[in-house]
Amino acid sequence: METLVKAEGERNVEILSDLNAISREAASLFINASRDSIAAREKFAVAISGGSTPRRLYTLLSSSPCRDQVDWQKVHFFWADERCVPKEDEASNFKIVFDRLLSKVPIPNENIHRIKGEEEPEKAARDYEADIKEFFEASGLPVFDLVLLGMGEDGHTASLFPGSKSLEETARLVAPVYTEKSDQNRVTLTLAVLNNAAQILFLVAGTSKATVLSEILSDGEKKREFPAGRIRPLQGKVIWLIDREAAGRV
Ligand code: 6PG
């Protein structure tokens, strides 16, 4: 398997053969990040995403040998975003992760910090923000040890969509969002929180993402039009794991 690593300051881009390779690499990064954080602070706070791309990663993490390499008692799961649907709904990001991973590993219930998609969006956003503040015991911005993100064909990430006013949100950690594209209410972490993470991992696969990805990774002015192009952690690092198809125009 050919792996090409391009280092650019705080950004690494790894081109891998396919989604299986991306998932294996992401699992290994997840395991290492959890070990480092637990060694330093006795806990690992990770915010994860829905979508189709990370599903294999969640399945890998819940199976041997990966599941035996994580101290699940000390892992705290948060979500980068959620759709405003009940937690049993197929569109729920909580359900995606619960079915494949959380229901299969020995993680305490109190370590699962879900966004209550069944609530009215404003309330769900406020409750989630309060949960984050309590967990991090911080009045300012929290520092997630790891944030796992995907990228849509339009360059959205989490539930931050191109042109959305939530992109300019600076006072809140969590924002309610309505997206016309899928006619859906959602709740999302804001750019300020995402860019304050210690490490961000993007998983991107498929030819449909190639054009936008090349705009973002070429670092031209146009990249700011895409929310994913505005993810650049202030003090942490961002790693893009992309497959050959998505890298076609990079
Ligand atoms: C969601 C996500 C979203 C996702 C991208 C990429 O709830 O849908 O959090 O930001 O990561 O849309 O989705 P795919 O992995 O399905 O391409």
Ligand 1 pocket test: which of 157, 164, 167 has the largest number of ligand atoms within 8 Å of its C-beta? 157
- Contact by Cβ (8 Å): 216, 228: yes
Decide whether any atom of ligand 1 lies within 6 Å of the 53 Cβ: yes
Decide whether any atom of ligand 1 lies within 6 Å of the 188 Cβ: no
pLDDT digits (tens, 9 = 90+) for 165-215: 999 999 999 999 999 888 999 999 999 999 999 999 999 999 999 999 999
pTM, entire model: 0.95
Decide whether any atom of ligand 1 lies within 6 Å of the 241 Cβ: no
- Chain-centroid distance of CA 221 in Å reads 24
Examine the pLDDT at 89 and tell me if it is beyond 80: yes
Q: What is the pLDDT of residue 66?
A: 98
Helical segments of 82-172, H only: 93-97, 121-136
Please name the residue that has the structure tokens 């539930």: 159
Ligand 1 centre from 42 Cα, in Å?
A: 30
Ligand 1 centre from 141 Cα, in Å?
A: 24
Residue 101, CA atoms < 13 Å, CB-side half-sphere: 25
Nearest to 216 by CA among 199, 238, 197: 238
Ligand 1 centre from 40 Cα, in Å?
A: 31
Spatial strand order in the sheet of 199-204: 4-8, 11-16, 237-243, 199-204, 146-149, 44-48, 75-79
